[in-house]
C-alpha cells in the first residue's frame, strides 16, 4: 500500500512482557510509560509526544480516568481510557515527572529517539525478525486488540474504527495480518 509505514507490530505477548520487565528492572520510568501508553492507546507518535502531565494527572496528582486529544494527522478527537496497565505505568513513573507542572510534556523526545528506543527494546526482547520503530507501538495496539478479541471479523471492524481507518482492508494490511491467519479463520468457519 503506497505511503504505508513499513513497521511491524509486536505480535508476541511474551516479548511485550519482557520489554515491560526490562524497562522496570533498568529503572527507566519515562520509557516504560511511553511504551505502555503506546501499546494501550494506539496513538501515533506525533500525538503521543503531545501528552502533558495534565493529560494523565489532575492538579492534586490523582490519575484521570481517560485522556483526550485531537490527533495531528486527521484532526479527529480521541478519548483513551486509562486502563490498569497505564495506571500502573503512571504509578511507576510519577516520581520521575514534574507533577506540579501540568503543562510539562511527558515525552519531550523526537520521533527518531522514540524509534531508537523501540528498536533497542525489541532487540533486547529477542525480536530479531521484523522492522520495529516508534509506529510499532500503534500497530501493536491494533494487533493485540484484534487477537485479544478473538481474531474475529467483528473485532477487526472495531480495531479499524479505533485506529481511524476508513476500511477494514486498510487495517488488515496495516496490522500485517497474514493470509494464513485469514485462511485459518476461513477453515474454522463451518456453517
pTM score, whole prediction:
0.90
Q: Which of 34, 31, 11, 12 is nearest to 22 (CA)?
A: 31
The whole-angstrom separation of Cα 36 and Cα 40 is 6
Q: How far is CA 51 from CA 103, 147, 167, in A?
A: 9, 27, 28
CB 90 within 8 Å of CB 63:
yes
Q: Tell me the pLDDT of the chain (191 aa) as tens digits.
A: 444 568 999 999 999 999 999 999 999 999 999 999 999 999 999 999 999 999 999 999 999 999 999 999 988 899 999 999 999 999 999 999 998 999 999 999 999 999 999 999 999 999 988 899 999 999 999 999 999 999 888 999 999 999 999 999 899 888 888 666 767 777 887 88
Which residue ranges make up each domain of the chain? 13-148
DSSP structural state of residue 133: S
Q: Which of 95, 28, 23 is nearest to 57 (CA)?
A: 95
Neighbours of 143 (CB within 10 A): 23
CATH topology of domain 13-148: hpI Integrase; Chain A (1.10.443)
**CA triple 186-159-161, angle to 5 deg:** 120
Amino acid at each position: 500500500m503506497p505511503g504505508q509505514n513499513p513497521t511491524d507490530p509486536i505480535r508476541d505477548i511474551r516479548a511485550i512482557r519482557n520489554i515491560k520487565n526490562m524497562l522496570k528492572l533498568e529503572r527507566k520510568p519515562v520509557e516504560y510509560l511511553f511504551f505502555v501508553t503506546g501499546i494501550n492507546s494506539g496513538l501515533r507518535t506525533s500525538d503521543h509526544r503531545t501528552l502533558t502531565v495534565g493529560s494523565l494527572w489532575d492538579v492534586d496528582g490523582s490519575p484521570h480516568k481517560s485522556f483526550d486529544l485531537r490527533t495531528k494527522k486527521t484532526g479527529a478527537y480521541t478519548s483513551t481510557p486509562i486502563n490498569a496497565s497505564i495506571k500502573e505505568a503512571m504509578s511507576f513513573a510519577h516520581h520521575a515527572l514534574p507533577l506540579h507542572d501540568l503543562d510539562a510534556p511527558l515525552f519531550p523526545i523526537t520521533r527518531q529517539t522514540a524509534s531508537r528506543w523501540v528498536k533497542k527494546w525489541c532487540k533486547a526482547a529477542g525480536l530479531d525478525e521484523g522492522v520495529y520503530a516508534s509506529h510499532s507501538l500503534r500497530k501493536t495496539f491494533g494487533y493485540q486488540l484484534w487477537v485479544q478479541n478473538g481474531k474475529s471479523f467483528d473485532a477487526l471492524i472495531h480495531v479499524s474504527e479505533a485506529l481511524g481507518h476508513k476500511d477494514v482492508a486498510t487495517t488488515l494490511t496495516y496490522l500485517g495480518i497474514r493470509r494464513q491467519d485469514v485462511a485459518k479463520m476461513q477453515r474454522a468457519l463451518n456453517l
